[in-house]
Amino acid sequence: MKFRNFFFASLLFFSFGHAACAAPTIKEIVSPSGLTAWLVEDRTLPLVAMRFSFNGGVETDAKDKQGLASLTATLMTQGAGPYDAKTFQDKLAAASIHLGFGAGRDFFQGDMTFLRAEKEEAFRLLSLALTQPHFSEEALERAKNAQSAAARFQLADPEWQTRRALFDFVFARHPYGFRALGSSKSLKTIAREDIAAFARQSFSRDNVRIVIVGAITADETAKALDRVFGGLPAKQIRTEMDSVVWPTHPQTVCVPRKGGQTDFFFAAPMMRRSDPDWYAALVANYLLGGGGFESRLMHAVREQGGMTYGISTSLMPMEKASMIAGGFSVQGDEAIKALATMRRVWQDFYENGATFQEVEAAKAYLMGAMETRLTSRASVADMLLDVREKELGLDYFEKRKKLLQAVSADDVMRVLSAWFDPSRLSFAAVGATQALACDAVKQEAEE
Partner 1 sequence: MIRAILLLCFVFALFSNSAAAKVFAPEVFTLANGLRVVIVRNALSEAFAQMLWVSAGAVDDPEGKAGVAHYLEHMMFKDTKRLEAGDFSASIAARGGKDNAFTDADSTAYHITIGTETLGLAMALEAERLDALLLDPSKVETERAVILNERRERTQGDPAAAFQEEFTKTFWSGHPYGRPIIGEERTIKNITVEDLQAFYKRFYVPRNAVLLISGAVKTADVLRLASGTFGRLPSEKERGSLALSTPLRAPSLRVMTMRDARVRQPFFVKRTLVPSLRNNAQQAAAFDVLAEVLGGGEVGILYRRFVMEKGQVSAIDVHYDSVTRGPATFSIAGTPVPNGDPKALARAVALYLRALERKGFSAADVGAAKKRLLASAVFVQDDLMVPAHILGQALANGYDLDAVEAWPTRIARVQARDVATALHALLAEGHALTGFLLTENAP
Q: Is the dihedral of CA 219, 222, 227, 228 positive or negative?
A: positive
Buried b (16+ CB within 10 A) or exposed e, 79-98: bbeebebeebeebbeebebe
Judged by CB under 8 A, does residue 374 bind partner 1? Answer: yes
Q: Contact with partner 1 (CB under 8 A): which of 29, 170, 367, 415? A: 367
Q: Contact with partner 1 (CB under 8 A): which of 53, 72, 204, 329? A: 329
Binding range to partner 1, per CB under 8 A, among 170-178, 346-354, 358-366, 383-391: 358-366
Whose CA is closest to 279, among 176, 393, 380, 412? Answer: 412
* Shortest distance (Å) from residue 20 CB to partner 1: 5
Binding range to partner 1, per CB under 8 A, among 240-248, 316-324, 344-352, 363-371: 363-371
Q: Contact with partner 1 (CB under 8 A): which of 25, 239, 248, 372? A: 372
Binding range to partner 1, per CB under 8 A, among 38-46, 223-231, 274-282, 315-323: 38-46
Nearer to partner 1, 136 or 347 (CB): 136
User: Site for partner 1 (CB under 8 A): how many residues?
Assistant: 84
Whose CA is closest to 181, among 148, 139, 140? Answer: 148
Give the neighbor-by-neighbor strand order of the sheet with 252-256.
311-317, 322-330, 262-269, 426-431, 252-256, 440-441
Judged by CB under 8 A, does residue 443 bind partner 1? Answer: no
Judged by CB under 8 A, does residue 304 bind partner 1? Answer: yes
Angle, helix 409-419 to helix 356-372, in steps of 10 degrees: 90
Buried b (16+ CB within 10 A) or exposed e, 290-314: bbeeebbbbebbbeebebbeebbbe
According to CB under 8 A, which residues from 58 to 117 bind partner 1? 85-86, 89-90, 93-94, 96, 98, 113, 115
Judged by CB under 8 A, does residue 141 bind partner 1? Answer: yes
Q: Contact with partner 1 (CB under 8 A): which of 152, 173, 185, 235? A: 152
As to burial, measured by CB atoms within 10 angstroms (0-12 exposed, 13-18 middle, 19+ buried), residue 64 is: exposed
Q: Contact with partner 1 (CB under 8 A): which of 1, 63, 219, 249? A: 1
* Shortest distance (Å) from residue 363 CB to partner 1: 10
According to CB under 8 A, which residues from 166 to 205 bind partner 1? 184
R_g over Cα of the chain: 24
According to CB under 8 A, which residues from 219 to 278 bind partner 1? 258-261, 263
391 sits in the region (left: phi over 0; alpha: psi -120 to 50; else beta) called left
Nearer to partner 1, 180 or 374 (CB): 374
